[in-house]
Chain A
Amino acid sequence: MSLLARTYNIFSFLGYYADTFLTYLIDSIIFLLAAAIAIILTIYFFRKYMARVQLRIGPNRVGKFGTLQLIADALKLMGKESILPKERDDFPYKVAPILVFAGLMVAFSLLPFGSFFWVGNVVISNSEVGIILLFAVLAIMPIGEMLAGISSHNKYALTGALRSVAKDISFEVPMMISVLAIVVMASARTPSSLTIGSVVSTEILPYGILQPLGLFVFYIAMIARASYTPFDMGESESELVSGYSTEYSGMRFGLFYVGMFGSILLGSFIISLFYLGGYNGPYEWNLGLIYLLIKTVIVVVISFTVWLSMPRIRIDKFVNLGWKYLFPISVFNLVLAGFLTLYLGW
């Protein structure tokens, strides 16, 4: 029994079409709200964690322990004037932050989150081509960044956008090849089509243990995707004032900000789904979501620690890293995965 099926049952008296429509609508809304709350919690946790690392206290004025600080910040951003540069390209300028945010949210709705007590399987889309779709949607976000940089008509923003493109090209190829290694292993174990759910269900032994090289490459790619230090060349605030988001203010800037933390959370979810065993755990009693969340939080904490303790790498060095190291490593990992699957039957 899944969340979808339960909602479907509730509305079944309405007939097939209305029922399907309402089910997907309501579940999507629930999902988006849950994702938004999760991102807000991530930002709150980041602030508190950063404060702890940096010998500070962190937000503690609005609400108990500063829990409402983010609501206050969001309200402040909404109330702010959105300053528009005069020579912008209007449509791409306005659509860019929305693309980033929308891509993120769609990517969230493609993930399976495991079962949770009476709710059942928490998943709203069970696409037959889940993995391809997920990474296709993830490729939308850089388009938003590029549009933002180019349409702002600002030299800093343009340089930031160019950097983003160079960065994206150099990490996406190794990332996809390391995902391919998972697909190779998973397809030998399950006869069903490659939904994300069926890939995760083959992880009796997590792929992170079978393919540590793949995990390494994929984790670096996820840092670069979320673009935080050490790989935040696109928006490096000490060099290019704020990179592609230089000319944005108000809620449009807020969307970029949320998009960044959302990417961290999303990357952590994807890593724990593909490499750390996802919602598989020692007891098979409807605790999948909890297992997944625990793994995700661990990955998030590791990501924040990396963020707070590393300087920024230079863009040419990162391109070198991508093509000269990550790419060969990921190809080697793919060959190794094929070998293990074909000849050893792992």
Chain B
Amino acid sequence: MSEWVDLNVGPHHPSTHGVLRLKVKLDGEIVREVEPVIGYLHRNAEKLCENTFFCDNLIYFDRMDYVGAPGMEVGYLEAAEKLLGIFPPERAVWIRTIMAELSRIASHLIWLAAFGLELGMLTPFFYCFDLREKIMTMFVEASGSRLLTNYCSIGGVYQDFNEKVIAEIEEFLRVSPKKIEEINSLFIKNDIFISRNKGIGVLDKETAIEYGVTGHMLRASGVEYDVRKAEPYLAYSQLNFEIPTSTKGDNLARYIVRVEEIRQSVKIISQAVKKLPEGPFFNPKAKKSMMIRLRGDGEVYARTESSKGEFGVYIVGDGGVKPYRVRVRSPSLRNLSVMRELGKNVMIADLVSILGTTDLVFGEIDR
């Protein structure tokens, strides 16, 4: 007889966000040890990138963080354009900024919805999806696709923002703050929600830094680090926004930081739409007939702040039309690896809520 009950949470379990498997050692209701097992959604994206042209690789990045695809595209293009030496015109930069922030909101809303479900709240799920649907219609209008947009491309964006997209974004900016507060009040004004999250899953600053945790988890642990401020890319240096931080490091702090991030993103979009310059949306050096002949030599590393944390792309080119090696630094993987520390001596219910605040997307972890 062993002292513990070994329990496999996942890979098919309602609250593991796809295909995470947690090997859990249970002592009654209390989780003594937890070991995440990943790899069930591995699709070989990095290797596949070596076999296709620079311009075509974008679709594999769409499928990484599939709940906020444009954010991933921006991450890849930061690296690829640096390698190829083709830079987008001013208007495309601003359009990309808007799309990246919209995708951040879309991704955060999915997280909020799933987090509510994990705590047993059915209603916020639909409120979040109702709001997210507005963003999806913008994506459709801009790119023709809902989820995997494939909108940005080397040297600019696939097509220009038309008036309808701008009108939809303005409508969203008008409606969303009120709706976000409504959804937030469903959570934060509930005593049970507070009792489930306050002081649960405390991640201290040192552990967070040791594990390479980034994004909202790092910020909730008291480190003010955001790539958008630390190393501005796109148009972020010309925009006015704040980085929400907290020193508590628990679930509630992560929740509050994330909701504040949504508000900041709305603020960024409202500034960016006003500043959106006129002009070409595409660099003629990367026109369609030239696209597959683009050659890259050398190595580059570019990092962007995706909705989950620091998303880094490392590309090595050997002078050919295809990259020699592509490597992705996935933020969710680092955020998940700290689960071993957080999941010690907590209750099952807490394990699920900690998992919820971590915000995992398996397309990105397994790649």
Contact = CB atoms under 8 A, between A and B. Distances in A.
Interface in A41-61: 50, 53-56
Contacts of B14: 237-238, 241
A239 B122 contact: no
Which of B123, B126, B349 has the largest number of chain A CB atoms within 10 A? Answer: B349
A229 B352 contact: no
B122 A50 contact: yes
B120 A238 contact: yes
A236 interface: yes
Which of A230, A232, A314 has the largest number of chain B CB atoms within 10 A? Answer: A314
A239 B352 contact: yes
B120 A55 contact: no
Given A309-B186, A314-B196, A54 B352 contact: no
Contacts of B196: 311-314
Contact of A312 (B28, B120, B186): B120
A236 B353 CA distance: 13
Interface string B329-367: 000000000000000000111111000000000000000
A98 interface: no
B116 to A, nearest CB: 7
B29 interface: yes
A330 to B, nearest CB: 21
Interface residues of B, number: 32
Contacts of B7: 155-156
B13 A230 contact: no
A311 B193 contact: yes
B126 A312 contact: no
B120 A310 contact: yes
Contacts of A341: none
B120 A314 contact: no
Nearest to A228: B120
B348 A159 contact: yes
Contact of B120 (A50, A155, A241, A311): A311
Contacts of B13: 241
Interface in A189-246: 229-230, 232-233, 236-241
B15 interface: yes
A315 B192 contact: no
B127 interface: yes
A31 to B, nearest CB: 33
Interface in B1-40: 5, 7, 13-15, 26, 28-29
Interface in B270-289: none
A153 B352 CA distance: 23
A54 B186 CA distance: 13
B118 interface: yes
Interface in A147-170: 155-156, 159, 162-163
B165 interface: no
B119 interface: yes
B41 interface: no
Interface in B225-276: none
Which of A232, A309, A310, A311 has the largest number of chain B CB atoms within 10 A? Answer: A311
Interface string A234-271: 00111111000000000000000000000000000000
Nearest to B114: A238
Tell me the dominant secondary structure on chain A's binding face: loop
B347 A238 contact: no
B44 interface: no
Contacts of A239: 15, 348-349, 351-352
Interface in B111-148: 116-123, 125-127, 130
B195 interface: yes
A154 to B, nearest CB: 10
B75 to A, nearest CB: 31
A223 to B, nearest CB: 12
Contacts of A50: 122
B190 interface: yes
Given A313-B192, A313-B195, A236 B5 contact: no
Contact of A238 (B117, B130, B193): B117
A239 B15 CA distance: 7
A314 B192 CA distance: 9
A89 interface: no
A310 B349 contact: no
A230 B15 CA distance: 18
Given A236-B349, A240-B348, A54 B120 contact: no
Interface in A305-330: 307-317
Contact of B349 (A156, A309, A312): A312
Given A155-B5, A309-B186, A313-B195, A230 B126 contact: no
Given A55-B127, A238-B14, A241-B13, A308 B29 contact: no
Nearest to B13: A241
B116 A53 contact: no
Contacts of B130: 55
A312 B351 CA distance: 14
A311 B116 contact: yes
A314 B347 contact: yes
Contacts of B127: 54-55
Given A311-B193, A314-B349, A238 B15 contact: yes
A238 B122 contact: no
Nearest to B118: A238
A270 to B, nearest CB: 25
Interface string A33-76: 00000000000000000100111100000000000000000000
30 contacts: A54-B122, A54-B123, A54-B125, A54-B126, A56-B126, A155-B26, A162-B28, A162-B29, A163-B29, A229-B121, A236-B120, A238-B117, A238-B120, A238-B352, A239-B348, A240-B348, A241-B14, A309-B190, A310-B121, A311-B119, A311-B121, A311-B193, A312-B119, A312-B192, A312-B349, A313-B195, A314-B195, A315-B347, A315-B349, A316-B29
Interface of A: 50, 53-56, 155-156, 159, 162-163, 229-230, 232-233, 236-241, 307-317
Identify the 6 closest CB pairs spanning chains A and B, nearest first: A312-B120, A311-B119, A54-B126, A238-B15, A238-B118, A311-B121
Given A237-B14, A314-B196, A314-B347, 6 more contacts: A55-B130, A308-B122, A310-B120, A311-B119, A311-B192, A312-B192
